Each structure stands twice: as structure tokens, then as C-alpha cells.
Amino acid sequence: MTNLPVHGGDLALWSALRRHTQARIGLGRAGAALPTRHRLELQAAHAAARDAVHSPFAPDTVAAALPGTPTVRVRSAAPDRLTYLQRPDLGRRLHPTDRAHLPAGEWDVVFVIADGLSSRAVHEHAAAVVHATAARLDDTWRLAPVVLAEQARVALGDDIAHAMGAAAVVVLVGERPGMSAADSLGAYLTHAPQPGITTDAHRNCLSNIRPPLGLPYETAATKLTALLTRARELGHSGVDLKDETALTESAADQLPR
């Protein structure tokens, strides 16, 4: 919000600037308050964020978007949504019954699709990211069945990968909704995760995957593939593993054409 006048030519200026950002800028005022239109837009955004947090996860919807891909469904130790929101620690633990259903093997990577704080983000974007990333990995990669995790947080992937014997895990999770985005998907890569030991410093994160306003699927998949490949070469992920795809693209742009 701003105290600058928004009349005449200023209206056109702010309107032009708003095309480049989802931030609420140059909204003006009606008396001492926001104009009613912008106040209603703010309330609608708040309602969308609340709906994203509380909407139930639909694993059948995600599985249907992954035809031909084996899937496994698990729950965290949080028995319901209210407990999940109040007890973050339970969202990081695998339900003991479901642990026994996970197929163990010599997997190179397991993709975990977790509802997190926005089932909407997962329903709309997760399957496309799995498809695009798997298509970029060559035949040397042994891909585990995709795990669909309910009431799950990022660290639940550590438990899942450890139980399955996977060398790396990519957790695709619904991010905390904001007032400008309720459908933002995050991707967290962890190499050699250890439940209770691995910290956020051992992870690499791609955020705001949500075309057309956020990161496109193809770009996210290219970055994930590069990070997975480099993590396997180095034997670790996290703060010492950098995304170099932007540097590669920049160097390519400077080559003579």
C-alpha cells in the first residue's frame, strides 16, 4: 500500500508496474482505508490461503496423473489435519504401520509427493514435475515407486528414503500459502538422508514451482536433474552443492551464433 496519489497518469503508471509483480503496490485509498475493490481482493486471497491449508489431500488424483508409474501411499504420525498443524514433529515421522509397506531396494532416488501446507499445489503441479524430471534421468538411475505421503512435512522424506534404502530423496511439497500464491510447490533434494540427523543445511530447495507465474516445470526438472547428478558425483547435497544451470545458460548465451 502507498500514500502516493493514484489519479490520472499515476493510475496508468501503477497499472503498468503491477504487470511485473504480484505484490500489492499502488493500491491507493478511499478515505482512510483501502479502496473496497482491493480490500475484497485481499480477503479473497486470505480465503484461498486458508482453503489451501485445510483442503484434504487426494492421493487418487495424483496417482491418476501418473499413469504407468507405481505408487505407494503412506501417512505420517499425525492422525488428522488439526494435529498435523499443531504438532509439526509428528509430520516428520512415518506411521509405523505404513513403514512396513514401503518396498526396499537399491534405489538411486525416490520421489515423495507430500501434501505439506497446500494440497492444491500438489494436486496441480507435482505429477508434472515428476514426469519431466524422470524423463531427463538416464538409464543408470534406478527410480523407486513414487510415494504419496499424507499429513507430511519435508523431513518425512528422510524416514521414507531410509526405510526404502534410497540413496537420495526428492520431496515435492505444498508450500505455505501466501497472500499472492496459494498453489506454490517446493522441491527438496537430499542425498543420503538420515532420519533425526539430516538438517535443512543438507538439502537443496527449488521453490515457487507454479507456471505460468512461478518456475516452469521444464526449468524445475532441468535444475533437479543437474542437482541430482552432481549430488551423486559429490556424495552429498546441501549448502556445498550449487545450482550451476543458470551459469551454464549464461555461458551458452555468450557463445557466437
Residues at the binding site are: 154, 175, 205
Whole-model pTM: value is: 0.86
pLDDT reported for residue 250: 53
Q: What angle do CA 241, 244, 245 make, to 5 degrees?
A: 135
Query: Domain containing 131: what range?
Result: 59-243
What is the C-alpha to C-alpha distance for residues 63 and 60, in angstroms, rounded to an integer? Answer: 5
Chain segment 209-252, per-residue pLDDT in tens: 999 999 999 999 999 999 999 999 999 999 989 888 865 665 55
Is position 112 within any domain? yes
Residues at the binding site for adenosylcob(III)alamin are: 154, 175, 205
pLDDT reported for residue 18: 84
Chain segment 1-57, per-residue pLDDT in tens: 444 445 556 778 888 888 888 888 888 888 989 899 989 999 999 999 999 999 999
Q: Which residues of 81-93 are buried (b: 16+ CB within 10 A; e: fewer)?
A: beebeebeebbbb
Q: What is the CATH number of the domain that holds 223?
A: 3.40.50.11240
Q: How many helices (H) and strands (E) does the chain have?
A: 10, 6
Query: In the chain, how many domains are there?
Result: 1
Is position 121 within any domain? yes
